[in-house]
Structure 1
Amino acid sequence: MSTRFELEAPDGGTFEDDPLALVPGTKRRKPRPRLQAALASVSRIAGYRMDGTGLGWVSVGVGVAFSGALLLRLFVSGAIGLSDQGDGQRLTCGLGLRAGNAYNTPVDDLVYTTYFDHRWYGEDCPWNTYGQPYNSSQLYLLQLAKWLTPLLRLPGDMDLRALGVVCALVLGVLAALMFVWIPGSLVGKGFVVTGVWLIVADATFAGYFVSAYSDTGAILGVLALMVAALALWRAEQVHWWHVAVIAAIALFTATTKTQAATYAVVAVPLMLSRRVGAQKHGKRYFLQGRWFALAASGGLIAAVGQYLRTQPARFGELNQYNAVFVEMLPHSKNPEQDLVRLGLDPTLISGSGSRINSANSVTELPGYQGFLDKTSTWDLFSQVYLHEPFRLLSMMGRGLVGMARLRVDYIYSYPWYSGRPDTLEWRVSLFYQVWRMMFSSLPLLIIVLTLASCLAFVIVLKVCTTQEDRSVGAVGLFLAVAALAQFWAVNLSEGASDLIKHLMLTDFTTGLVLILGAYSVIVLRSSVIREKGTSR
């Protein structure tokens, strides 16, 4: 039996591995036909785990393509966005801006992308918080859009199309980093990045990038958390800045809106999941290498807690009113008993199904006194739902139906100059169509597929031996827990009030979970094959 090897010829070719080929005058191997060589190159690239400069340039190209395709999706054939149902005005008036609509005309049927400087007075800014400023990290993105507006030669003092450009560029950077840190071949990396693009570019989510809604920053934050978690779990040695970046991104995400605070809570076990610095051999205790992560977690929770405390009191009252009179009482078999358990006057049952500004609102009744002190989310959970835990199952069912709907039909897509009021845009809707096809008639399948993905993540963590492969399982589990926490935050806080819209972030995170769940099967198969090849 002879050993096969190749030697490099002086002119860059290779000699036959037969020893006679080294004898002067012998012929070298004939070049393969071009088609065969091209197919071999494609096959090699598909299974090649690139490192260094090669992967860097490919990832830059992926990021540019991601941003460019998203910009085309947002602006070619006319810009699209989201009409303002009132939530956007809470933010823009805080920047001293007003939409460019004519006086006394609605802004909820068309998108007004151009905003002008305006001096607001008293309770007009914003109207639904009685003049108290609404805080959100989304304001940083809007400030950046305001600064970019004149540079992009857009009209007004701020144009939301500049925000769309900002979001496309940020998402391009995240896509490039994701391409670098997702393990596997170029084809596998491309599968994940393409799946993410189909989600963010879908008609369900794309409009947020040209809107004043705080959900825009939340979407960017969730993707950034996913990428930062990949970096943390891929690293052979974790540094303090891995943890610091996750804490900063989690803080930005959690402060986009109050319901997104769950992402800060879920980020804590993520930061504590790995030890910082080189670890010595021998017996180790849990806190070894985790002191920085513990301090960062404490700072994160304290900062988010302060953010929640500084929100307008009127805004908190709106949420608590909805949680009781829109979600809890209409779905209760004994609503009077629920009120008694909360220490409230049973006569407030007359407000069941009402909103705070409805004609049958109970805010003016004497029994409403002390309502805010007795109806926090913890009060509702401990005093009502723990006594009847099966009610949580019916709440979960309503939430799953809301998730299966995916997109609301009362927030519209086209700008005022399009002449298309009250119209939804569907130019890219593959994710929506697949989601509706799978879940519209059987919402419970959302839980089934999410649990199946979690099982795949656990198996990847148990079976795969390389740190880069295990990162898919760890990040997938983090996103699954984040989706679950966000789901219950929405249902327990406001519930049936605007449920489909409020579940948007849950839908988005779940979409990422399902993509990683599918990809984890590929990673697991590749890891097993690689291990079998190594053991031979």
Structure 2
Amino acid sequence: MSDKFELVDSDGVGFTEDPLALVPGTKPPKPRPRLRAALATVSRIFGYRIEGTALGWVSVGAGAAFAGLMLMRLFYGGAIGLSDQGDGQRLTCGMGLRAGNPYNTPVDDLVYTTYFDHRWYGEDCPWNTYGQAYNSSQLYLLQLAEWLTPLLRLPGVMDLRALGVLCAVVLGLLAGLLFAWTPGSLVGKAFVVSGVWLVVADASFAGYFVSPYSDTGAILGVLALMVASLAMWRAQRVHWWHVAAIGLIALFTATTKTQAVTFAVVAAGLMLCRRVGDPASLGQYPLQGRWFGIGAVGALLASVGQYLRTQPARFAELNQYNAVFVEMLPHSPHPDQDLARLGLDPSLVSGVGSRINSPNSVTELPGYQGFLDKTSMWDLLSQVYLHEPTRLLSMMGRGLVGMSKLRADYIYSYPWYSGRPDTQEWRVSVFYHFWRMMFGALPLLIVALTLVACVLFIAVLRVCPDQQDKSIGATGLFLAVAAIAQFWAVNLSDGASDLIKHLMLTNLTVGLVLVLGVYSTVVLRSSVIRERGVPK
């Protein structure tokens, strides 16, 4: 491998060592001012692709810069994170840890980064599942943060600032791979990586990296799936480890929280879309080269199914109660008929708008018996929503309004020692302001731009002959489908209950889709130029 730059521009057209060299058969160019000539030279040089060892070193630099900027984003000028609304406590109490807040004081207005050993009793751990352990792959990240805490000389048994450092390192690694595997020129690669940084580092998402929420692992998992998809689709020959890597990452992402299981379902299609083995030796038989993928998908879905079965029964009850009494019935023109369709006692209509622990909760009424057996997501779809499909459109509208807000205004950012309770930080908010400007007044535009991006991704897959270029289309399409699936999983499960926060992962994924959608236009243009042989 050579350490030198290969003089091939972003469109694959070869040039001499002098970017301004005369093309044979053309007239000599008119003399230009030195400044314009210098700018033209720079633009040509930045259009070159780099290969081999040089690309590796530049990718390492891009990953290091990404991680360094993320560390500055999280800690420069004072650490930021997310206050705990209760979802984080169900994970940390299972580790035998308690936040360092004074006794009998709330933890939802300030960030308490330091955790200490604590012995929990009975139903206190966690309070919202009646003492049944909550399983999440996020626990692996928290355990690594616990191990890192003394190494970084941070106080307590576990400090969430160690988790922030760990996440920055993982993000840097993913960014380096993203830079290396994104097709195109230096500028194109830098555009994609910079766009991803602006999304991930935005005030709407960055705080999760210094928080106990399971969403932290989900964010890392989505980015890792994006990188793994690029790796598999750009390869001329798909190996078994491409499929295995996607399966393992999808398993980690799907088991961070129950609503994220949609990523495993969508990733299953990604794992089967290409055949494993040498393309020259694979025949026309459609299953040839896909047996490993089929086995891996089966293992993935079985593991996710087991994860769902091992979740606390109380947690499933909370979700189903919210889906019926917080989302479905309050927005129904005839809630008593909906209950009858589900085979439930119409007297439960008294609980419309209630939560499971509200004073008007119906859990103690005789008619509540059998509620869990009759209100699965499939029951709600088949017995209610498919009879009145227009209600799904109104649900979509409420979901889009929730997405347009992007950030919940009741989760705060600053640690207890900052003296800034009930305060959100906005140090990096370019993506937030772009999002609110685009979608704040017209949430339906989210759907329109996502569909436009999907059309561009399909065009890349159909028009571009280069396998590396196709990786952008395939990865963008995968993320778009994943965002749509996640959107409906949130709306059909908890729905209006904490909607803005639960749609965070959908918003993040759509942000990545928009970045790749813009870049796909560059990929299409470059591919057309190469095919026509038109010099830049």
What TM-score do the two structures reach when normalised by structure 1?
0.93
Shift, 1:212, TM fit: 0.2
Partner of 1:323 in structure 2? 323
Compared CA separation, residues 64 and 283, structure 1 to 2 (3 A): closer
- Measured against aligned partners, the alpha-carbon deviations of 1:255-308 in whole angstroms (never above 9, x if no partner) come to 000000000000011010101011346851211100000000000000000000
Amino acid in structure 1 at the alignment position of 2:369 = Q
Amino acid in structure 2 at the alignment position of 1:524 = L
Partner of 1:156 in structure 2? 156
Partner of 1:43 in structure 2? 43
- Measured against aligned partners, the alpha-carbon deviations of 1:358-406 in whole angstroms (never above 9, x if no partner) come to 0100000000001011101111011100111110000000000000010
Amino acid in structure 2 at the alignment position of 1:471 = S
- Measured against aligned partners, the alpha-carbon deviations of 1:309-355 in whole angstroms (never above 9, x if no partner) come to 00000000000000000000000001000000000000000000000
Shift, 1:435, TM fit: 0.1
Partner of 1:203 in structure 2? 203
Matches of 1:341 and 1:139 in 2, distance apart?
A: 40
Partner of 2:69 in structure 1? 69
Shift, 1:42, TM fit: 2.7
Amino acid in structure 1 at the alignment position of 2:460 = V
Matches of 1:303 and 1:467 in 2, distance apart?
A: 32
Q: Find out whether 1:101 has 2:101 as its counterpart.
A: yes
Partner of 1:405 in structure 2? 405
Which shows bigger deviation, 281-290 or 45-54?
A: 281-290
Matches of 1:97 and 1:281 in 2, distance apart?
A: 55
Task: Please state whether the residue corresponding to 2:49 is helix, strand or coil.
Answer: coil
Shift, 1:217, TM fit: 0.2
Q: Find out whether 1:440 has 2:415 as its counterpart.
A: no
Matches of 1:117 and 1:86 in 2, distance apart?
A: 18
Partner of 2:497 in structure 1? 497
Shift, 1:33, TM fit: 12
Amino acid in structure 2 at the alignment position of 1:263 = F
Shift, 1:183, TM fit: 0.5
Partner of 2:387 in structure 1? 387
Q: Find out whether 1:141 has 2:145 as its counterpart.
A: no
Contact preservation (8 Å) 1:208, 1:215: yes
Contact preservation (8 Å) 2:282, 2:288: no
Matches of 2:427 and 2:292 in 1, distance apart?
A: 46
Partner of 1:374 in structure 2? 374
What TM-score do the two structures reach when normalised by structure 2?
0.93
Shift, 1:40, TM fit: 6.0
Contact preservation (8 Å) 2:326, 2:497: yes
Q: Find out whether 1:485 has 2:485 as its counterpart.
A: yes
Matches of 2:202 and 2:40 in 1, distance apart?
A: 35
Matches of 2:36 and 2:395 in 1, distance apart?
A: 59
Compared CA separation, residues 236 and 100, structure 1 to 2 (3 A): same
Matches of 2:421 and 2:218 in 1, distance apart?
A: 27
Partner of 1:118 in structure 2? 118
Matches of 1:77 and 1:308 in 2, distance apart?
A: 41
Partner of 2:10 in structure 1? none
Partner of 2:509 in structure 1? 509
Mapping 1:419-498, distance limit 5 Å: 419-498=419-498
Matches of 1:251 and 1:33 in 2, distance apart?
A: 58
Amino acid in structure 2 at the alignment position of 1:332 = S
Task: Please state whether the residue corresponding to 1:87 is helix, strand or coil.
Answer: coil
Task: Please state whether the residue corresponding to 1:278 is helix, strand or coil.
Answer: coil
Matches of 1:33 and 1:276 in 2, distance apart?
A: 55
Partner of 1:263 in structure 2? 263
- Measured against aligned partners, the alpha-carbon deviations of 1:416-444 in whole angstroms (never above 9, x if no partner) come to 00000000110100000000000010000
Which shows bigger deviation, 415-424 or 48-57?
A: 48-57
Matches of 1:75 and 1:326 in 2, distance apart?
A: 38
Q: Find out whether 1:187 has 2:159 as its counterpart.
A: no
Contact preservation (8 Å) 2:344, 2:367: yes
Contact preservation (8 Å) 1:322, 1:495: yes
Contact preservation (8 Å) 1:137, 1:255: yes
- RMSD value over aligned CA atoms? 1.8
Amino acid in structure 2 at the alignment position of 1:117 = D
- Measured against aligned partners, the alpha-carbon deviations of 1:116-146 in whole angstroms (never above 9, x if no partner) come to 0111111111011000000000000000000
Contact preservation (8 Å) 1:91, 1:134: yes
Matches of 1:351 and 1:534 in 2, distance apart?
A: 68
Task: Please state whether the residue corresponding to 2:256 is helix, strand or coil.
Answer: coil
Partner of 1:23 in structure 2? none
Task: Please state whether the residue corresponding to 2:85 is helix, strand or coil.
Answer: coil
Matches of 1:501 and 1:264 in 2, distance apart?
A: 21
Partner of 2:3 in structure 1? none
Matches of 1:146 and 1:216 in 2, distance apart?
A: 15
Matches of 1:43 and 1:401 in 2, distance apart?
A: 42
Contact preservation (8 Å) 1:399, 1:487: yes
Amino acid in structure 2 at the alignment position of 1:453 = A
- Measured against aligned partners, the alpha-carbon deviations of 1:447-482 in whole angstroms (never above 9, x if no partner) come to 000000000001111110100011100001000000
Amino acid in structure 1 at the alignment position of 2:400 = L
Matches of 1:436 and 1:40 in 2, distance apart?
A: 37
Task: Please state whether the residue corresponding to 1:108 is helix, strand or coil.
Answer: coil
Partner of 1:86 in structure 2? 86
- Measured against aligned partners, the alpha-carbon deviations of 1:131-189 in whole angstroms (never above 9, x if no partner) come to 00000000000000000000000000000000000000000000000001110100011
Partner of 1:25 in structure 2? none
Q: Find out whether 1:297 has 2:308 as its counterpart.
A: no
Contact preservation (8 Å) 2:282, 2:289: no
Matches of 2:35 and 2:95 in 1, distance apart?
A: 60
Task: Please state whether the residue corresponding to 2:115 is helix, strand or coil.
Answer: strand
Amino acid in structure 2 at the alignment position of 1:350 = S
Shift, 1:46, TM fit: 1.4
Mapping 1:284-363, distance limit 5 Å: 284-363=284-363
Mapping 1:24-35, distance limit 5 Å: none
Partner of 1:28 in structure 2? none
Task: Report which of the two structures shows the higher radius of gyration computed on alpha carbons.
Answer: 1
What is the aligned residue count? 508
Matches of 2:276 and 2:477 in 1, distance apart?
A: 21
Matches of 1:474 and 1:233 in 2, distance apart?
A: 7
Matches of 1:527 and 1:461 in 2, distance apart?
A: 11
Matches of 1:376 and 1:108 in 2, distance apart?
A: 31
Contact preservation (8 Å) 1:45, 1:186: no
Task: Please state whether the residue corresponding to 2:427 is helix, strand or coil.
Answer: coil
Amino acid in structure 1 at the alignment position of 2:402 = G
Contact preservation (8 Å) 2:529, 2:535: no
Compared CA separation, residues 421 and 41, structure 1 to 2 (3 A): same
Partner of 2:533 in structure 1? 533
Matches of 2:436 and 2:68 in 1, distance apart?
A: 28
Contact preservation (8 Å) 1:136, 1:256: yes
Contact preservation (8 Å) 1:279, 1:289: no
